[in-house]
Amino acid sequence: MRKYRAARARAHAAKVDSKRQGLLLGAVITILACLVLAAWSQQVNAAIRGPATTDSEAMLSDDEAVTPRDVLVGRWYGEQQRAGGKMKRWTVETFPDGVFLITFRFYEPDGDFREQIEVGEWAVSGPVYFLSTKGWIDGDTLLEADTTSPELYDAYRIIRLDPEVFEYEHFVSGNRYRVHRVSSSFALPE
C-alpha cells in the first residue's frame, strides 16, 4: 500500500509539474504574441500615418481619432504615363458608406480619349486597401458585373496614406499607384 501511495504521489507531482510547465509555456507564448502584434501595429501605423506619432495625435480621444478609413473618404486624382505617348488619368471617389466610383480616361497622343466608369465597394483593414467592382456606368445605365469573377476583387498594400497623398501597391501585379486629394468639384481634363 505504501508503494502505491508513493507512486500515486509521484504521479500527482509530475502532473502538477506538467500543468505548471504548460501554464508557463502558455504565458510565454502569449507574451511573445503580444510583442509581435505590438511591433506589427507600429509598422501599420508608420505605413498609414508616417513614422512618428506626435504628442497631439496621442492625446486625441477615441471620438476625435482619425482612422485610415476617415482619411480615404473623398476624391482622389491620379495619372500614369503609358507606352506610345498614351496617358491614363482617373479620379477615385470613396464615400463613407463604403461605395466607390472610379472614372478612368485613357488618352491617345492626339488628345482623343475613351472613358470607363466603375462602381463598387471599398474597404481598408490595417495596411490593406480593398476594391470590389460591382459594375460599370454607361450613360445613365448601370451594367452589373459578374461578381463571381475573381478579377473584380483587388487588394492593395498601403504604402503611404495621409490627408493629401495616397500610395498603394497591388498585391498580385505589383503595380504601384499614387493619387492626390482633390476637391469634390475637380474634373478630369477633356
Range(s) of the domain holding residue 160: 68-182
Is residue 117 within 8 Å of 136, Cβ to Cβ?
Answer: yes
19 is a domain residue: yes
Residues 84 and 163 in one domain: yes
91 is a domain residue: yes
Per-position DSSP letters for 101-141, written without gaps between them: EEEEEEE-TTS-EEEEEEEEEEEEETTEEEEEEEEEEETTE
Residues 118 and 44 in one domain: no
* Mean pLDDT to the nearest integer, 79-98: 95
Does residue 32 register a pLDDT over 60?
Answer: no
Whole-structure pTM over 0.85, yes or no? no
Q: How many CB atoms lie within 10 A of CB 48?
A: 18
Number of domains in the chain: 2
Residues 106 and 28 in one domain: no
The domain boundary residue, chosen from 28, 58, 88:
58
Q: How confident is the model at residue 12 (pLDDT cuts 50, 70, 90)?
A: low
190 is a domain residue: no
The domain boundary residue, chosen from 15, 36, 58:
58
Residues 48 and 80 in one domain: no
CA 88/CA 79 separation, integer angstroms:
6
Residues 175 and 86 in one domain: yes
Name the least confident of 9-13, 19-23, 38-42, 103-107.
Answer: 38-42
Residues 42 and 100 in one domain: no
Is residue 103 within 8 Å of 89, Cβ to Cβ?
Answer: no
Model confidence pLDDT, tens digit, residues 135-171: 999 999 999 999 999 999 999 999 999 999 999 999 9
Kindly state the cell numbers that stand for 97.
458608406
Average pLDDT, the chain: 79
CA 50/CA 44 separation, integer angstroms:
9
